[in-house]
């Protein structure tokens, strides 16, 4: 009974202690809120009322009065940059970086963010200036990554090579694919300037960096072709079939042209016919169709496309089939008219016109269907790119087009 009495007497004490604790927490919360500058609440109010310019001014005042709120500005600046409001992002980060009382670590953070702002705004010189101040310290690797992106935008390939090598050492990450592509860019520029020896040096350097690089032998073949040596060009281009056969369609037209220069049209057709029987057929259809039409005429082109439709049906093969039929009709119509068509026979000219109409309809419907697709971001393009225009990554396009109706 005595235990129950003490238990009843203890209940008011427990409730009293809880009330005191609650009052203490409320007073502490009110005290903390009272310590926050009024500019903080003004800034929040401006944000809620979609007045970002006034909000920035208010938050800058908060930063001046209370350095502990700088993370708020970093978040706000990053938000503006993601929204494409680069001028506002620059303003936020410039004010942070210029504060004399800002800790060095946060100043470096502000410079890093500012460099990204300038890059997004297209102010490349100012972006490089900001990031170059961070070549050591916690933001060194991140700054070098942004600089690498900047050098690619500027097409400063030698600087891009240096930045990639530095990153390779800092991050212990393989950048050989990118470095090889930068070398290829320099080789292609040298080739355009008609400096073949310099082009060859850069292309061999690309293969040294990445022996699997396919672009270098393609360009080496171009160097030999420009020098008037189709046999050497063929050696480079046909070697791609052994290296990575999927890229052969990218040089198929050049191979056919080189064979023609050597007077070996038959070998070009044999090469194409052999490839058409494999998995590369869809990519080689256009090249094979034109070569067959030029060498053996429309009837042979019709037969080739009919056989291809039986092996691997596709809209592209069907389009070329009707184009060949239309061309055959145009070629045979004069002969039929001269011989005199019977009343019951359908004139070849009419058949050719029907085939031409179907071919044009198919071409109009399928012109934009065949696309190269980036494996990383899904960006689709009619042309093949070594660097994706969407995500700016290298060698993400498979050299195979897809016919997508969606």
Where residue 342 falls (left for φ over 0; alpha for ψ -120 to 50; beta otherwise) is: beta
Give the annotated binding-site residues for Fe cation: 374, 377, 388, 391
Residue numbers in the known binding site are 374, 377, 388, 391
Using CB atoms within 10 Å of the CB of residue 222, give its burial: 0 to 12 exposed, 13 to 18 middle, 19+ buried: buried
With CA atoms as reference, report the closest residue to 122 among 90, 96, 158, 170: 90
Distance CA 196, CA 60 (A): 57
Sheet hosting strand 402-403, strand order edge to edge: 380-381, 370-373, 402-403
User: What sign results for the dihedral spanned by CA atoms 118, 121, 124, 126?
Assistant: negative
């Amino acid at each position: 009974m005595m235990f129950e009495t003490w238990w009843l007497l203890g209940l008011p004490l427990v409730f009293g202690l809880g009330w005191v604790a609650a009052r203490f927490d409320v007073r502490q919360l009110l005290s903390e809120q009272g310590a926050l500058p009024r500019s903080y609440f003004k800034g929040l109010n401006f944000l809620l009322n979609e007045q970002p310019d006034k909000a920035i001014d208010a938050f800058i005042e908060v930063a001046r009065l209370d350095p502990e709120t700088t993370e708020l500005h970093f978040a706000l600046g990053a938000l503006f940059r993601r929204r494409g409001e680069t001028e506002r992002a620059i303003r936020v980060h410039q004010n942070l970086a210029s504060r004399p009382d800002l800790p060095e670590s946060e100043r470096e953070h502000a410079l890093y963010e500012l460099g990204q702002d300038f890059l997004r705004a297209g102010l490349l010189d100012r972006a490089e200036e900001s990031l170059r101040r961070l070549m050591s310290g916690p933001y060194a690797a991140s700054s070098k990554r942004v600089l690498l992106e900047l050098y690619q935008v500027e097409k400063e390939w030698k600087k891009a090579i240096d930045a990639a090598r530095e990153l390779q050492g800092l991050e212990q990450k393989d950048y050989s694919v990118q470095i090889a592509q930068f070398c290829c860019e320099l080789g292609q520029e040298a080739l355009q300037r008609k400096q073949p020896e310099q082009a060859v040096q850069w292309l061999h350097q690309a293969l040294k960096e990445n022996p699997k690089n396919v672009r270098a032998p393609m360009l080496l073949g171009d160097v030999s072709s420009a020098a008037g040596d189709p046999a050497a060009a063929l050696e480079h281009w046909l070697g791609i079939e052994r290296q990575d056969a999927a890229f052969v369609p990218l040089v198929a037209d050049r191979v056919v042209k080189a064979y023609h220069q050597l007077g070996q049209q038959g070998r070009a057709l044999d090469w194409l016919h052999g490839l058409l029987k494999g998995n590369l057929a869809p990519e080689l259809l256009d090249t094979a169709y034109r070569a067959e039409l030029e060498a053996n005429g429309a009837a042979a082109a019709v037969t080739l496309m009919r056989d291809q439709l039986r092996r691997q049906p596709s809209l592209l093969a069907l389009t070329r089939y009707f184009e060949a039929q239309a061309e055959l009709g145009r070629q045979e119509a004069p002969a039929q008219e001269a011989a005199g068509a019977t009343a019951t026979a359908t004139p070849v000219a009419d058949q050719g016109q029907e085939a031409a109409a179907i071919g044009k309809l198919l071409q109009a419907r399928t012109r934009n269907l065949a696309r190269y697709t980036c494996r990383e971001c899904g960006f689709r393009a009619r042309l093949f790119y070594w660097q994706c225009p969407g995500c700016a990554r290298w060698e993400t396009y498979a050299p195979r087009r897809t016919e997508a109706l969606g």
